[in-house]
Amino acid sequence: MSSSCDETQGSGACAETTAKHGGDSECCNMPEKLLCLADEAWKEVVKDKIKQEIEKNSGAKLDALAKLVAEANHKKWTHLIEGKQKCDQFKDQVKEAFLSLSK
């Protein structure tokens, strides 16, 4: 595997190399790009396989954990929305109080 698809170089490495060499460079040729693409595809396949193993071994426990987290998140947002509504009500009451002072 060539070092030209080294992720530590960042996405600008190819453009930088092209600019330095005045056009097409070894970094930017199609075969090298295809090899880098193959490396990325391989990583995705391995990641999918790992996910399958995790699902097979811990799926039910992860389902229970996901449900717990989703319920807690729902409660958190419900509380935040209710708090916002109460705050808005208070602001309206204060506004009305000030408006009644000017009458």
pLDDT tens per residue across span 73-86? 999 999 999 999 99
| pTM (predicted TM-score) | 0.50
Average pLDDT of span 44-48: 98
| Other residues' Cβ atoms within 10 Å of the Cβ of residue 35 | 14
User: What is the full DSSP assignment across 55-87?
Assistant: HHHHHHHHHHHHHHHHHHHHHHHHHHHHHHHHH
Which comes out higher in pLDDT, residue 16 or 98?
Answer: 98
Contacts of 39 (CB under 8 A, 6+ apart): 1, 5
- pLDDT value for 10: 52
- pLDDT value for 22: 57
